[in-house]
Amino acid sequence: MRKPAGVQTAPLVESVRSGDPRAIARAISALEDHEPGAEGIVQELFPFTGNALLVGLTGAPGTGKSSLANRLAGHYRVQGKRVGVIAVDPTSPFTGGALLGDRIRMQQHATDDGIYIRSMATRGVLGGLARATGDAALVLDAAGKDVILIETVGVGQDEVDIVRVADVTVLLLVAGLGDDVQSFKAGVMEIADIFVINKADRGDTDRLENELKVVLGLSRRTDGWLPPVVKTVATEGLGVPELAQGVEEYWVHVQRAGLRDEKRVQRWQERLVELIRERALERVLKSGVGKEQLAGYARQIARRERDPYSVVEELLRAAGVAE
């Protein structure tokens, strides 16, 4: 593309395309850490992406997303598909590393070349987790993965952003909290293409299923899809083939309805906005103020010597971003 390849970009891009796990890891780290020239990797790999199916898995803590992602990955492996797993933990803004559980999972699959598992966590105040997740998915896509599972903890806006990278979104619920459906109704329900009631061997699964079906029956999706409810016991692998089938059926529906491109354009529009936000902030911080000066302004504001909006106005002007 238009950016000249850095010294190391070209060989790295070649190795990623051949599926080399170390090259994949290196490329994702460079993008996650925002190393100079890292964008060149995406630019070079980009023409070779768009082939993988991106499946997002989300749900509250404790719903068993990791177990289910593991089982689903195994299911696809048996079918001969190459699988990438991106485990995102936006609740981890301070640790910045992989969770113990994910490290254990990586060891389990360490001998299987057809699967690649990667953990990501928020790093620092600049955010950009959704962007980094999207970039990681592009790397795995260019590396020839057929299916990429994106697994994320929680049900807030950040998870919605992360899951929006996916082609198919699976929402996990567990019976027992009682008012799940009530709580979810407002927005997260609307992003889910498939519902999973996990841990279906315990709790009042039938009641939750009925509640869900009532709510789903009331909602109207513009794409004409009625999200199925799949019951699983992820720890035992029960219901996993049915989930994979649901994913397949949804994607067939999307393609038959001619909505595949429209959905992907919509997602790219959202990602562009996120990218602009992130890059513009970087530039302002770079040209306007260092982090130390930012602390000085924050001190003035905390003392009520200045108000936040006039400070921001001043910083934007200094960076050349005038109104």
Backbone angles phi, psi at 13, to 5 degrees: -60, -40
**Residue 223 binds a second copy (CB under 8 A):** no
**Residue 193 binds a second copy (CB under 8 A):** no
Closest-CA residue to 215 (of 235, 192, 185, 248): 185
Min dist CB 103 to a second copy, Å, is 12
Stretch 169-188: interaction string toward a second copy, x if CB under 8 A: -----x-xxxxx-xxx-xxx
**Residue 90 binds a second copy (CB under 8 A):** yes
Q: Sheet harboring 194-198: ordered strands across?
A: 115-121, 83-89, 147-153, 53-59, 168-174, 194-198, 229-231
What residues from 295 to 314 belong to the interface with a second copy (CB under 8 A)?
Answer: 295, 297-299, 301-304, 306-313
Min dist CB 294 to a second copy, Å, is 6
Amino acid at 142: A
**Residue 257 binds a second copy (CB under 8 A):** no
The region that residue 80 occupies, defined by phi over 0 for left and psi between -120 and 50 for alpha, beta otherwise, is left
What residues from 47 to 76 belong to the interface with a second copy (CB under 8 A)?
Answer: 47, 49-50, 60-63
Query: Which position has the token pair 């699976």?
Result: 170
Distance separating alpha carbons of residues 315 and 305, to the nearest angstrom: 16
- Binding a second copy (rule: CB under 8 A), the pick from 5, 10, 25, 99 is 99
Closest-CA residue to 71 (of 163, 204, 184, 198): 198
What residues from 262 to 281 belong to the interface with a second copy (CB under 8 A)?
Answer: 264-273, 275-281
What residues from 107 to 136 belong to the interface with a second copy (CB under 8 A)?
Answer: 121-122, 125-127, 129
**Residue 4 binds a second copy (CB under 8 A):** no
The 3-state secondary structure of 180-192, one letter per residue: HHHHHCCCHHHHC
**Residue 246 binds a second copy (CB under 8 A):** no
Amino acid at 145: K
53 three-state secondary structure: strand
Min dist CB 245 to a second copy, Å, is 27
Task: Considering the complex, state which of residue 113 and residue 261 has its C-beta at the smaller distance from a second copy.
Answer: 261
